[in-house]
Structure 1
Amino acid sequence: MSNTETLVFVGDSLTQAGDWASWFPDDDVVNLGVGGDTVADLTERIGDVIAARPDSVVLMIGTNDVGARRSVEQVVRGIENLMVVMRRELPGTRLLLQSIAPRQAEFAARIKDANRHLRQFSSTVRAQYLDLWPALAGDDDALRPEFSDDGVHLTAAGYEAWLAELRPGLERLRDEPPMSRPLTVIDSSYEID
């Protein structure tokens, strides 16, 4: 029996530029990253995610919203709404919500605030949360210069740093049973001494 899963990556240009199929060759990978996407853009195309009927969804969105000066509340509520829709429409799918990636230092406080809210929210929709901030941000809270040429998009080294966090994150995600699978109760007698 094959262990191949349908693994859907969803997000903006950071996701779109990833070579997910070669990085996860044992899975049926679908890359639904679209350059320039905001939370609102992804909300409009959420049907594509649902139509893929994935075993697991890996989501990262929000940096373009922050760059467009949308409020933390707008960004967080939009992502929360996306997660609720995915959970409702894909009850058996494992969800991995990744933190909004760091970018230029001027955006750090707002991104960190949004990520704090998203981390707290993720468990309410039975999603796992993967914090990429420690791996990608420098001491000044900006995206590390060796990981980007423009302060937003990732270099090969940036993707390697992301993958170093994502691979174990996906292993933990896959250790979880699908969300709609009923629990098995073992009926065995035991004695208490």
Structure 2
Amino acid sequence: MTSGGGATDAAIAARREQTKIKLDQVQKAIGQLRRERGRPTVRAIAERAGVSATFLYENRDARTLIQQAVAASKQQRDHAATEIHEQIEASWRERALNAESELTRTQKEVFVQRQRIGELMGQLRDFDQMVPGESVQALTTENTTLKRQVHLLTQEHRKLQERLEGARTNLRFADKRVADLEAQILERGQP
């Protein structure tokens, strides 16, 4: 029986060695999937490790490795999703604060504009009270009359400018003629 027990022990040792090798391969496959950011599933790990899915389901240590890898992957995905969510929320929070600030500034500007409009409306009411409706008509008529007078004076000014220019031209012509006559007299007076 000792010879049969030795063969059994050797077979058990060989099986344990194969199991250890397979577990090492499973760990390497899980490490590769993590580095590549792949999803650790039983099928993906079995293909990378070169072991059967049955081995992964039946071996307690392999199941533990897979459960840990899945949990770590889930935690990593949750953490990444949380970071993305926080970035998006921070972006929206910043936009909301900017919008709130701009709204406050706009409300102040609207308030200032309303005050200015009120002041101007008060000035218009004061002007209406100072100048009754009949006075407005009289001012309009007087304004029209003054515009006509300005137009007539402008025409008269233009005519006077033309006459002045004509008189200057005649004066230059007369001066030239006088100069020519003086030159002729001087020429005749010299023998």
Give TM class, smaller chain. under 0.3
Q: What TM-score, normalized by structure 2, do the two folds share?
A: 0.20
- Bigger relative contact order, structure 1 or 2, given CA contacts below 8 A and separation 6+? 1
More helix by share: 2
Q: What TM-score, normalized by structure 1, do the two folds share?
A: 0.20
